[in-house]
Amino acid sequence: MTNAGALTPAPSPRGAAVDALLTLPLFEQLAGVLGGHPYVKVVVDREQGVWHVLDSAVHSFHVNYIATEIQGLTLDQLDAELDRFNHDVYQAPARRFLLGVLSLHSRGGPEQGEPFMVLETTEADTMGADLLIEFHAFVRAHLDPALELLLKPANHGQENALAAVPETVVPRARGHALSAAAPFVPLTLASATGRLRAFVSREEYLAARADLTWYDIVAMPVVPDDIPRLAGLINALPTTPLSHTNMLAAGWGIPNAIVRGVLDTIADEKLDGCWVRYEVTAHGFVIERAEEPSDLAEPTWHTQRVRLDAPQVADVPLVPLSALRAGDRNRYGTKAANLGELHHVLRHGSSRLTGYYSVPRPPRADLLGHLAARLGMPEDGDLAQYAGEFLSRHVRAPAGIAVPFSVQRRFLDSSPAVQQSIGKLKMALELNAMDAVDTVCVQLQHLVRTLPVPEDLVRALDAQVVEHLAGTSRFAVRSSSNAEDLPGFSAAGIYESHTKVTDLPGLLDAVRQVWASLLSPRSVRLRHQAGIALDDTYMGVIVQRYEPSPLGGVMVTCNPTNRADFRNVYLNCAHGSTADVVDGRTLPLQYLYNTVEGGGRTISLGAATEDLAPQTRDHLGRLALAGRLLQSHFATDYTFAGPLDIEWLLGPGDALHILQLRPYSA
């Protein structure tokens, strides 16, 4: 083994150090910042016995550096054989190069803590135990001996490979533990100027909530899911990008991040109540004092209007979900229509399933070979057929009934008192008298919840349940509005769902509760701000068989913290109800799954004490791939890039039950 202390730097390309002992001063000279941590890229050349430490501001990709600076190729020559090149550096057992990232961390906080280094490979790297041991040993020998070096497994495959290796040989850092201690995590990249409001508890927030307005920036341990529309959010503790709150923030395009210790900083600098400029980028955040505007102009979104397709409220029947197609959204709502379309795809397949993989994702001409590998397809197979068969093997669509908009309209029209109150609400909205709006909404909701359901509707609903859901002991009743899942208006969490329904009286009550949620003060306010007229808004209802499950969750078929990442989907789950994931009550387990090269990694254990079993994580990897295929089918554009937001359960026999799927409007 080379004596690291005797190393002498060799002549280096621009933005790199070659064959050097890496000290903190040299590291700081080359380091960029990723996720709040300084980092450099490293390349170990096993053939030459040297390593290269790269400034990522100069060298964005390991493979580009290897091709141009070590092998003397042009970028055009690299692109012509990129898949082979990537295989040689990331997957070949006898590879020449070992590639990774070296980041600087600190125990006990960035100011006073003891520094240590973390080495990890790229997520798609298939290094086994021997290469990981070698990689760690090489870097250890070329790093300042005073700095501790831990290896972070980059994916579940590496975790499994290292399971039998003692930590005395390869000391390790767990990705979920590093994520939990991360000083900064960007959630929505944006900037805003507004009044900073800090609350150390939910009780403080609730006491001030009525006074919050559109130009406020709220900082809390975790911002709750009943927020009005605001200018920015700051979470002081870990949360998930897939909570209702963070989905709304992403849909609104407001800056949002996790910033450790932010409440102490706000208190120390006396920023509570002050006007600030708040900006979130991929690499960091800014909170600095700003001048209060002398004349508060209306926000631009007050003049923007969300486009709403004309609802169709002519009488149509209650039908099973399986009878619907995507085009039925204007009669039954987007959620119901999408579930009907899912039933169709699982029965008949779709030629669109391979769309995402067929489009160039620079620098690749297409990803079809990767998809074929994920599906285990032979060379002469039909890729769309294999994709359809994969979905039909692993995915289930819920049995259920769709109640159309026309039923809600007839129900509301049956009561003169309801119609009179709706008239009052329209007048209050026209005058922008929001206090009166809230009062009328509460009265309307009470009327809707207590109004008897006409007997013909009771008989129709009972008949459909008997025909299509007979033998069900528990139902889930969900919203399916035309005023949600729209570009610029996600409506995440503002309409109700009920999952403890067991009989016809309870079913009728739950349906009325869902209808009433269309008229809640919060939902009416948010739609009014988006320019969605009350007259254009309708609520369909979905009645599903409740599926008990040991595991449920939500995923989006993108990486919400890095939208340039075309490989990964973000998946959250918790033991039990999916509601625990999205409403913020439980911090979920969080994963990224690579739907190109394959594999997954654990981002956070959330409130759990241990990770899921490897077999269960494999099931979730299949769900991620299924989601990517369905994204292609449901896309309305021909880049197939619009991600889906999918709620799911792990059912009997490890079948993956999709409860709802909709556009991820962030």
pLDDT value for 406: 96
Architecture of domain 548-663: 2-Layer Sandwich (3.30)
pLDDT value for 379: 87
Q: Summarize pLDDT for 25-64 with one digit per residue, the tens.
A: 999 999 998 777 899 999 999 999 999 999 988 998 999 9
Question: 439: pLDDT confidence band, cut at 50, 70 and 90?
Answer: very high
Task: Give the CA distances from residue 644 to residues 37, 150, 554, in Å, rounded to whole numbers and listed in that order.
Answer: 30, 36, 10
Judge if the upstream peptide bond of residue 363 is cis by omega within 30 degrees of 0.
Answer: yes
To the nearest 10 degrees (0 to 180), the angle between helices 434-450 and 504-517 is 160
Q: Summarize pLDDT for 62-93 with one digit per residue, the tens.
A: 999 999 999 999 999 998 888 889 889 998 99
Nearest to 526 by CA among 489, 499, 563, 576: 489
Angle at 383 between CA 124 and CA 554, to 5 degrees: 55
Q: Of 2-11, 433-442, 445-454, 595-604, which range is least confident? A: 2-11
Q: For 377, what's the count of Cα atoms within 13 Å in the CB-facing half-sphere?
A: 20
- Reduced 3-state DSSP string for 6-30: HCCCECCCCCEEECCCECHHHHHHH
Q: Which class for 298: exposed (0-12), middle (13-18), buried (19 or more C-beta within 10 A)? A: exposed
Backbone angles phi, psi at 98, to 5 degrees: -115, 125
Mean pLDDT, range 518-534, rounded to an integer: 91
Q: Summarize pLDDT for 617-633 with one digit per residue, the tens.
A: 999 999 999 999 999 99
Domain boundaries, the chain: 4-173, 184-291, 305-350+380-544, 548-663
Q: What tokens appear for 22 in the block?
A: 């890496």
pLDDT value for 12: 72
Q: What tokens appear for 625 in the block?
A: 């791939």
Question: 578: pLDDT confidence band, cut at 50, 70 and 90?
Answer: low
Question: 581: pLDDT confidence band, cut at 50, 70 and 90?
Answer: low
pLDDT value for 11: 55
Q: Judging by DSSP bridges, how do beta strands 114-120 and 184-188 pair with one another?
A: unpaired
Taking residue 293's Cβ as centre, other Cβ atoms within 10 Å add up to: 11
pLDDT value for 83: 85
> Which residues are within 8 A (CB) of 380 and not within 5 positions of it... i.e. 6 or more apart?
none
Question: 9: pLDDT confidence band, cut at 50, 70 and 90?
Answer: very low
pLDDT value for 292: 92
Taking residue 12's Cβ as centre, other Cβ atoms within 10 Å add up to: 15
Amino acid letter for position 588 = P
Mean pLDDT, range 295-324, rounded to an integer: 83
Mean pLDDT, range 552-576, rounded to an integer: 91
Judge if the upstream peptide bond of residue 93 is cis by omega within 30 degrees of 0.
Answer: no
Instruction: Identify the H or E element spanning 217.
Output: strand 216-220
Domain 184-291 has CATH 3.50.30.10: yes
* Spatial separation of the C-alpha atoms in residues 256 and 278, rounded to whole Å: 9
Mean pLDDT, range 633-641, rounded to an integer: 94
> Which residues are within 8 A (CB) of 557 and not within 5 positions of it... i.e. 6 or more apart?
569, 595, 624, 627, 628, 630, 631, 643, 644, 646, 664
* Spatial separation of the C-alpha atoms in residues 337 and 322, rounded to whole Å: 9
Q: What tokens appear for 466 in the block?
A: 């008997």
Q: Are 322 and 328 in contact (CB under 8 A)?
A: no
Q: Are 443 and 520 in contact (CB under 8 A)?
A: no
Q: Summarize pLDDT for 179-220 with one digit per residue, the tens.
A: 888 889 999 999 999 999 999 999 999 999 989 999 999 999
Q: Are 224 and 235 in contact (CB under 8 A)?
A: no
Does residue 564 have a pLDDT over 50?
yes
Task: Give me the chain's average pLDDT, please.
Answer: 91
Does residue 554 have a pLDDT over 90?
yes
Question: 6: pLDDT confidence band, cut at 50, 70 and 90?
Answer: very low
The dotted CATH code for 305-350+380-544 is 3.30.1490.20
Nearest to 309 by CA among 288, 327, 294, 336: 327
Same fold: 305-350+380-544 with 548-663: no
DSSP 66: I
Does residue 582 have a pLDDT over 50?
yes
Nearest to 73 by CA among 93, 94, 88: 88
Q: Summarize pLDDT for 98-147 with one digit per residue, the tens.
A: 999 999 998 865 555 789 999 999 888 999 999 999 999 999 999 999 99
pLDDT value for 577: 63
Question: 579: pLDDT confidence band, cut at 50, 70 and 90?
Answer: low
Q: Summarize pLDDT for 385-403 with one digit per residue, the tens.
A: 999 999 999 999 989 999 9
**3-state SS, residue 71:** coil
Question: 507: pLDDT confidence band, cut at 50, 70 and 90?
Answer: very high
Question: 583: pLDDT confidence band, cut at 50, 70 and 90?
Answer: low
